[in-house]
Amino acid sequence: MTEGNFVDYVKIYAASGKGGKGSSHLHREKFIEKGGPDGGDGGRGGHVIIRGNKNLWTLFHLKFLRHVKAGHGGDGGSSRSTGADGEDKFVEVPLGTVVKDKETGEVLFEITDDGETKILAKGGKGGLGNWHFRSSTNQTPRYAQPGIPGEEVDIILELKVLADVGLVGFPNAGKSTLLSVLTSAKPKIADYPFTTLKPNLGIVAYRDFQSFVIADIPGIIEGAAEGKGLGHYFLRHIERNSTLLFLIPADTEDIKKEYEILIDELRRYNPEMLDKDKLIVISKCDMLDDELQAEMKAELDVAFKGLNYMFISSVAQQGLTELKDKLWKMLNS
């Protein structure tokens, strides 16, 4: 899927159908001049329903959908016949979609399971026919209820990528390169910052035909929590990951400081992210000889006391098997 086809933010206006009006019909038949009221009820207006679909990975199919309108309920008829219900409209969304009120920003609900349905706008109830209003003192009511109008809502659909592992790092840290060697994904790779503008997903094949999903998130910069760079557009995709892989290049001036900046941005965006399992990976270790790597390891043992870290090289294919083993263990512990 190309970058332009990854859509994770859509605005939609949804309107449910109004209920049909009840009938005020009076029964007429040969030899029965005054048969009394027999007006049927109006049908229910159609709902607008959000439904989860595991085969969708993006909101691209909704990119040009501005309005969703359900059908109106049919009017009641004679012989107490009820009007037809309005046609329901289903909006299919990928798993991990959050539905928000456009005006208030309030989260209405989230879709996380395949086939899960939530009514976004309820159809109006049909009006009662005059059959319901007959009584001993009013045997021929010539009135019936009108249908109840439908609901109108302006919503925002936001996709938060569902992946087991999220790659976190500064621009140009080598996240896309790592994704390309661990999975069959083909992310855009270049030597300039923000090569990746949209999240890329890849499936890592593990032993015994097992697998897990890894997501390459666009690079974080200082101030991202306030919206700098690509800001909230990518930070929200990390919320769903159960494990965070912090990727820091070996040629970084201060590895510990870079890690602390990344952690601080996540904390300022959502403190709950710090409760996730974390693994620090020092990339591009093919640039280090054994002596330099041993020296760096001694420093990092002190700097990252109690934290998991390891060295890899995506280009030289060093440490990748150990990385898969480590991630699988963290995901299944």
* Close Cβ partners of 215 (under 8 Å, ≥ 6 residues apart): 161, 163, 165, 166, 167, 199, 200, 201, 202, 237, 241
Q: Kindly state whether residues 131 and 187 are assigned to the same domain.
A: no
Edge-to-edge order in the sheet of strand 277-283:
200-205, 211-216, 165-168, 243-249, 277-283, 309-311
Among 159, 176, 194, the domain-final residue is 159
Q: Is the pLDDT of residue 130 over 50?
A: yes
pLDDT band, very low/low/confident/very high, at 181 (cuts 50, 70, 90): confident
- Give the annotated binding-site residues for Mg(2+): 176, 196
Decide which of 134, 159, 184 is a domain's last residue.
159
- Single residue among 139, 159, 179 that ends a domain in this structure: 159
Residues 201 and 64 in one domain: no
> Which domain, by its residues, includes 216?
165-331
Signed CA dihedral, 283, 197, 106, 53: sign only:
negative
Q: Which residues are annotated as a binding site for GTP?
A: 169-176, 194-198, 216-219, 283-286, 313-315
* Phi, psi dihedral angles at 247 (to 5 degrees): -105, 120
Q: Is the pLDDT of residue 65 over 50?
A: yes
Please report which confidence band the pLDDT of residue 1 belongs to, taking 50, 70 and 90 as the band edges: very low
Together in a domain, 131 and 227: no
Residue 275 DSSP label: G
142 and 178, same structural domain?
A: no
Which residue is listed with tokens 């449910």? 16
Feature table: binding site? 169-176, 194-198, 216-219, 283-286, 313-315
Global pTM reads 0.69
